Each structure stands twice: as C-alpha cells, then as structure tokens.
Amino acid sequence: MRFFARGTGRVELDVVKVGDCVKLMNDLPEGSVDMIFADPPYNLQLAGDLVRPDHSKVDAVDDDWDKFDSFKIYDRFTREWLRAARRILKDNGTLWVIGSYHNIFRVGTSLQDLDYWILNDVIWRKSNPMPNFRGRRFTNAHETMIWAVKDKDARYTFNYEAMKALNDDLQMRSDWLIPICTGHERLRDDEGEKAHPTQKPEALLHRIILSSTKPGEVVLDPFFGSGTTGAVARRLGRHFIGLEREDTYARLARKRVSKVKPVDDVNLVDTPSKREQPRIPFGWLVERGLLEPGTMLYGPGRRFNAKVRADGTLITRDFKGSIHQVGAHVQGAPACNGWQFWNINVEGKLMPIDVLRQKLRSEMN
Amino acid sequence: MRFFARGTGRVELDVVKVGDCVKLMNDLPEGSVDMIFADPPYNLQLAGDLVRPDHSKVDAVDDDWDKFDSFKIYDRFTREWLRAARRILKDNGTLWVIGSYHNIFRVGTSLQDLDYWILNDVIWRKSNPMPNFRGRRFTNAHETMIWAVKDKDARYTFNYEAMKALNDDLQMRSDWLIPICTGHERLRDDEGEKAHPTQKPEALLHRIILSSTKPGEVVLDPFFGSGTTGAVARRLGRHFIGLEREDTYARLARKRVSKVKPVDDVNLVDTPSKREQPRIPFGWLVERGLLEPGTMLYGPGRRFNAKVRADGTLITRDFKGSIHQVGAHVQGAPACNGWQFWNINVEGKLMPIDVLRQKLRSEMN
DNA sequence: GACTTTTGTGAATCATAGG
DNA sequence: GCCTATGATTCACAAAAGT
C-alpha cells in the first residue's frame, strides 16, 4: 500500500527510488518532508591495505561511491545535495547528517554557508569500535552528527520529554553510547558477507527519529543504503522516502523494510509523559531492540497486562506511565517495582523483564 | 630563569608575550616549536540573555574578543593564525585545536584547506556540563578537538604506551571523560568571580601534552588566556610559549605559572616507546652466548619448529631465513614478528625468545 | 544442555630505517 | 625518491566450535 502526503501534491510515500539523489529531490515539491537523515559518502582517502596483528586483512570501505578527487569536488557535491534538501524540507523541518573527521567539517561549513542553523552536534560513541592496529593514533571510537534547521527562528520539533524518559529522567546529552551494527541486525548477502559496508544501527535511528519527528510525518533519506532509516521510521509509525543510487542496495532495502511491522497504536510512539524511570532506563531495552514497541507485558500469573511504547513507557486500557507506575496502578497498590512485576512471554513461559535489564547491563559493562 | 631553545636562534622560552598572536608568531623563527595547542574564540553568536529556571542569569561568554561579523571574517581570522602556526611548527610537530559546533567546522575545513593532515578528532565529554534550561535541544555536553600534523607523511610523536597506561591498559579512545574546571582549580579575581570565562581543566591539557610531546620540548599556545597550557607544560617538564592579547590575562597567567613546580625526575613524565628502544638483531643472542647454534625453537603450542644457525638465521626442513621470514613461511602468513612467535624450551615449558632480547638489552645499558 | 574456548570482524585518512 | 627488510600492533562482541 502506498501513501501520498497531504497538501503537497502527489508525493509517493514509503518507497525506495533509484537514481541520483539531487535529481530525485528536485522532482519533489517544495516543503514536502518533515525530516531528512543523511549518511553521505565520507571521502575516506585510504592508501594501501590495513592488516591486523594476526595478519588478517581489514575489509575497509573502498567503493567507488566514496572516491572524490579533491576537497573542492567533495564540497561541490555536498553543497548540491544540501541545497536540494533545503528546498524540499518544510520550514520547521530538521536535517540530520552523520560523518567522520574526514568529511564532517566540510559538511558543517557547507551547512552554515547555506544558512542552515545548527542546533546540536551529537556524538555517536561506539561501544565496540575497531581498534587502532598500528598504535599511532587514538582509537577512532565515534562519529559526529549535526542536527540543523533551515532558519534560526524555525519552530522545529524536539520531543524533550521522550528523550528525557529514554535517559533515566535526565536530559538527553549530546553524546550517545550505542553499539555498532553486528549480529542478527547486520544484513548479509548469499555468501554470508556484509551486504552493505556502512549499515547504521537501528538504535541510532530510533533515537534520532523519536527525538525530532511526530508520528505520521515524512522522513527522507537521500543516501538510503541498506534502509535503516526506512525500517525504523516504519516501525515508529512515520513515513519514509528512500533515495538510493545503486539498484542492488535499493532492492535489499525494499525487502528489509517490507518485513517491518509498524506499531498499530499511535499512542505507543507519540509524545510521552514525564515519568520516573529506573537507573537503567527501561526505554533502552526498546531502543536497543531487546523489546519491540507493542510487546505485551504480563503481571504475575497473567492477571494483568500492558503494552510497551517506543519511549519506554507502558500503556493499559485506562492508564499509562512507567513500568513501576502501571504496575502499581493495576494492582491498586501505592508502589511497585516494575522490573520484578512485569514479564514477557517466551515460548509460553513468563520471564521477568529484569533479565533483559541484566543482559543490557552486562553488555554495557 | 629563562631558557632559549637550541638550534633556532634565540627563542625565549617559558614566557607570556602580550600582543596579536599572528604578529607574535611571525616574529618567531620557522620550525621553532614542537606542539601548538590553540583554544581560539568560538564565535558563539549569542542573542539576548539566558536565564535559569530559578530566574538567575547565566554568566555567558559575551566578550568583545568573541565577536565576529560573519563566517567570512571568522574564516579569514582562522586561516591567518593557522598559517602563522604552520610556519613556526616543526615538520614533525603537531597542532591541537579545541572548539564547539559554532566554530569547529570552520576550523577543520581551514585546516584541511591549508594542507594540514588530520590525525584524530577527539571529544571532550564533560562529566558536569551546563544543562539545557529551555528543553529545546540536547544538553551540550562536549567539545571537539582536532589533532593534526603539517603533512600526511610527517613522523609525529604519539606516546602510545603512556596513553594506554593512562586508560587501564586499553588503547586510549577518541572520547575523553573529563570534568569542567571548577573549585580550587578555577582562578578567581579579587571579587571571587571567575577570572577567565573559558578556563580549560588541567586534566585535559595533561592528556594532550603527555600524548604528543616529549620532555624538554616546546609547546606554544597562541590564545593563552588563563595559562592552563603553560601550567601543565611546566609541571610535565616541557617548555611553553604563551601569547595573549589582553594584558590582564597575561599577568594572571604569569602569576599562575610561576607557582607551578616542575617534576624533578624526567622518568616521571616520559613513557618510552618500544619503537624507540635500540634494535637488537637476533644474531646477537647467538653471538653473545644466550642461544647456542643448533638450539630448537618452537612456534605456539609446539606446532612448528626450527633450528638456530650460527649466523642468526633459522632453518626448517625446507626453508631458511630470518626469525621473521621463517615464522611467516611455516604459517603460510604474509608476515610475522619472530620475537613473539618463537619460543625456547626451558625445563619443559615454552619461553618467548623476546625474554632473551630484553635480557640482552638490560645488559647493554 | 551448559559451559568454555576459539575465531571472526567492524566507515581506518594506522611504520620506518637503511640502502 | 623508491625498494626492501625488519618489526610493532587489537577491543568488544558475537558466532562457532569444542568439552
């Protein structure tokens, strides 16, 4: 099923289009998307092979799409797609760009020169980065994202309460600790090799989309790649438009996105309330994919149940709040430790959600 | 007491000079400093006052020195001081610059345009940042530093072992958690107000100077401010040159630095690298009688073996060559560090031949 | 089946002395 | 400047393999 955005002519939604992203953006009506997430080529300029101490070869990015002859050419490319993005972005929409020190300074400068107004730079701290094999530099353990609006006075969306709930009731900071994409989440080709060299983790897009869009809004990704943006947008009840140069990746992404089940209830992904959270915020279980939004939780003996929302709160028929508050409410008790009260259904058996917390804790040390 | 750097004419060391940093740098001889740390104005572009939830006023940076009329003017200023810095920096010296999203993209772009080669971008994560009072953005909890050399092929200093030791024997990452400067460390004026609006913590400079300079080298800071760079350089047995536009700050910094006692023992501030230890050819072990010709060497788990020849080569059934070549050959690997691969049999146990090298090294000292 | 050990790998601007 | 020989160097996590 295809959707068309209202009030902007006919803009096909939830599709992956193949072609040059600047041309494809120029075909869209002015002010037709609410948010843009862009993961442009990083222009790595690598020389020669890198070998690990055990003599295995590092499978680095050496694709043609990452090759530029000079900074001048990279700058021209950057300004072109940023200008096209600016036109199709609504006046109160926001733009996210991710990059590394190879390209992010060019991107930031271009943004400012094109009169975008930077709201934050946000650091993705990788919990499991590739080490520096030669011992000649600091381990490159982060990437930088820039969050910007079209104009200094734009009235953009920032779901402050959702971000606070996701961070143990503390303001969300500009440094985010999130693992790189590995394991089941990493898409593989028929030979079992990584299908895309730079697939981003869903947890990263979860936080980005939840922070700066509302349900039903349109997220565009001009460098769609493996389609992480589309998969997360769909799961969170947002629409997406994916633009991708290579047909192989576009097909891969379409297949991936089609498997994602959107949350059926908009309340699960809408503006959350300000609530108390445990020390490991419950929302992190959702963000990190240990729990899907919409998962049913059960009280002891299945006498009670509640549904998980994307921001880490629960909802029942007549009440919503933290795992503790909802647990207390359904029992009519003054207080409740939600971590011990709530369970998930695993092959017919109940398992306390605290097990998931412990799992996450051990993963994060 | 004043020092003068050797071999560069008369360069006065451990002094704070007052004036325009570009002019002062142009007065110094070419290639006269080993490292530059720069904390330039951030060009914050603040509008109006910021008020806390309790209605107290935030004491923000609103000094004249942080005012620029446009990005164009800021870029010109940046390129001027970066060009002057490049001239006085030794070919194998490195440059550190710190900034926030307001200016760091301009700085990074200018660096690349002036042919500096970026080694890392390093994130200073503040453990105690100022919160975002308005709840309209992510808490601005970090600043960005860029570490660069003059040329891609420069042979710069990186004290890998010192950094690893400082990080619990794990490689030092590109994200550093360090508190902002408060308490006793924060310089106060006679009224008890902070004496400088952007005083950097000594812990930050400690890590920077320790990572990329050797004892006795010269660190220059073109925006000296409260003199953190000088204080830490002096304590770590390095020389400094401070340049500062405002006489008030220069006087403050001189007073601060003069109170610092340098470490008396150079061994306390120098972590020698394995790379810098004298090279010991394997044959010397045979020559000096630590290994007899004919001794059998074993690979890990005794899966391989080879015999020592009198000239310091090894021989197996079908191949002979250096410890590295034979190690690579028996494994079918492209390369091998023979010092770590080969072992001798000592009372039934395997002992790496590297132990013998260390023994010989200590005997030669 | 539970537990331990080994192996694989990820956006990386990753060496240097001496002939 | 180029080529060759030597030799310095890895963290977190997951999956597979082994006990």
Chain A residues lying within 8 Å of B106, measured CB to CB: 108-109, 112
Chain B residues lying within 8 Å of A166, measured CB to CB: none
Please tell me whether residues A318 and A227 are part of one structural domain: no
Chain B residues lying within 8 Å of A132, measured CB to CB: 171
> A141 CB near a chain B CB, below 8 Å?
yes
Chain A residues lying within 8 Å of B124, measured CB to CB: none
Please tell me whether residues A169 and A245 are part of one structural domain: yes
Under a CB-based contact definition with an 8 Å cutoff, are residues B195 and B226 in contact? yes
Please tell me whether residues A116 and A239 are part of one structural domain: yes
Q: If you write DSSP's letter for every residue of A307-363 in order, what string do you get?
A: EE-TTS-EE-SS-EE-HHHHHHHHHT-S---HHHH-EEEETTEEEETHHHHHHHHHH
Beta bridge mates, B139: A173
Does residue B257 lie within any of the structural domains?
A: yes
Does residue B6 lie within any of the structural domains?
A: no
Please tell me whether residues A178 and A294 are part of one structural domain: no
> A97 CB near a chain B CB, below 8 Å?
no
Please tell me whether residues A293 and A253 are part of one structural domain: no
Please tell me whether residues B245 and B293 are part of one structural domain: no
Q: Tell me: the pLDDT tens digits for B133-175?
A: 889 999 999 999 999 999 999 999 999 988 988 887 889 999 9
Does residue B275 lie within any of the structural domains?
A: no
Please tell me whether residues A286 and A242 are part of one structural domain: no
Q: How far apart are CA A41 and CA A77, in angstroms?
A: 10
* Residue ending a domain, choose from B234, B268, B302: B268
Which residues of chain A between 166 and 205 are close to nucleic strand D, CB under 7 A? 179, 182-184
CA of A62 to C1' of D9 (A): 23
> B272 CB near a chain A CB, below 8 Å?
no
- Residue found by looking up tokens 């953190």 in the block: B228
CA of A290 to C1' of D11 (A): 23
Q: If you write DSSP's letter for every residue of B130-148 in order, what string do you get?
A: PP-TTSSS-B--EEEEEEE
Residues of chain B short of pLDDT 50, as ranges, are 1
Cα-Cα-Cα-Cα torsion A213, A219, A223, A224, nearest 10 degrees, comes to 110
Q: Tell me: the pLDDT tens digits for A226-264?
A: 999 999 999 999 999 999 999 999 999 999 999 999 987
Strand D reaches within 7 A of the A140 CB: no
Mapped onto helix, strand or coil, the DSSP state of residue B92 is strand
| Nucleotide nearest to B116 in CA–C1' terms | C13
pLDDT of residue A273: 38
User: Could you tell me which of A228, A236, A235 has the C-alpha nearest to residue A270?
Assistant: A236
| Nucleotide nearest to B119 in CA–C1' terms | C13
Domain that holds residue A63: 15-268
Chain B residues lying within 8 Å of A147, measured CB to CB: 138
Does residue B314 lie within any of the structural domains?
A: yes
H/E run at residue A129: none
Contact A121 B113 (CB under 8 A): no
CA of A91 to C1' of C14 (A): 43
pLDDT of residue A266: 75
Closest CA–CA distance from residue B126 to any residue of chain A (Å): 10
* Residue ending a domain, choose from B216, B242, B268: B268
Please tell me whether residues A212 and A291 are part of one structural domain: no
User: Could you tell me which of B106, B97, B99 has the C-alpha nearest to residue A113?
Assistant: B106
Chain A residues lying within 8 Å of B141, measured CB to CB: 173-175
Q: Which residue is nearest to nucleotide D6 (CA to C1')?
A: B324
pLDDT of residue A6: 59
Give pTM, 2 decimals. 0.85
CA of B149 to C1' of D1 (A): 22
Domain count, chain B: 2
Contact A125 B123 (CB under 8 A): yes
Does residue A6 lie within any of the structural domains?
A: no
Best residue of B119, B174, B330 to probe chain A, by most A CBs closer than 10 Å: B174
Contact A171 B336 (CB under 8 A): no
pLDDT of residue A279: 57
CA of A61 to C1' of C11 (A): 6
Residue type present at position B282 = F
Please tell me whether residues A168 and A21 are part of one structural domain: yes
> B138 CB near a chain A CB, below 8 Å?
yes
Q: In what order do the strands lie in the sheet with A320-321?
A: A320-321, A314-315, A305-308, A296-298, A343-346, A349-352
Does residue B1 lie within any of the structural domains?
A: no
Residues of chain A short of pLDDT 70, as ranges, are 1-9, 271-279, 362-365
Contacts 24+ apart (CB under 8 A), B300-305: B300/B341, B300/B343, B300/B350, B302/B350, B304/B330, B304/B331
- Label the pairing between strands B239-244 and B320-321: unpaired
pLDDT of residue A365: 47
CA of A48 to C1' of C4 (A): 38
* Core vs surface per residue A183-193: b (16+ CB within 10 A) or e: eeeebeeeeee
pLDDT of residue A271: 60
| Alpha-carbon separation of residue A217 from A270, B3, B336 (angstroms) | 11, 65, 56
Q: Output the domain CATH number for residue A235.
A: 3.40.50.150
Q: How far apart are CA A320 and CA A314, in angstroms?
A: 6
Q: How far apart are CA B171 and CA A138, in angstroms?
A: 7
Does residue B235 lie within any of the structural domains?
A: yes
Q: If you write DSSP's letter for every residue of B301-316 in order, what string do you get?
A: GGS-EEEE-TTS-EE-
Chain C nucleotides near the protein (CB, 7 A) = 8-17
pLDDT of residue A130: 94
B43: tokens are 């060009």
Contact B108 A125 (CB under 8 A): no
Contact B158 A172 (CB under 8 A): no
Closest CA–CA distance from residue A203 to any residue of chain B (Å): 17
Total beta-carbon pairs less than 8 A apart between chain A and chain B: 129
Does residue B274 lie within any of the structural domains?
A: no
pLDDT of residue A263: 83
Strand D reaches within 7 A of the B174 CB: no
Please tell me whether residues A101 and A162 are part of one structural domain: yes
Please tell me whether residues B252 and B321 are part of one structural domain: no
pLDDT of residue B82: 98
> B140 CB near a chain A CB, below 8 Å?
yes
Please tell me whether residues B80 and B183 are part of one structural domain: yes
pLDDT of residue A278: 36
Strand D reaches within 7 A of the B164 CB: yes
* Residue ending a domain, choose from B244, B268, B292: B268
Chain B residues lying within 8 Å of A137, measured CB to CB: 119-120, 158
Q: Tell me: the pLDDT tens digits for B237-288?
A: 999 999 999 999 999 999 999 999 998 777 777 776 776 677 777 888 888 8
Closest CA–CA distance from residue B109 to any residue of chain A (Å): 5
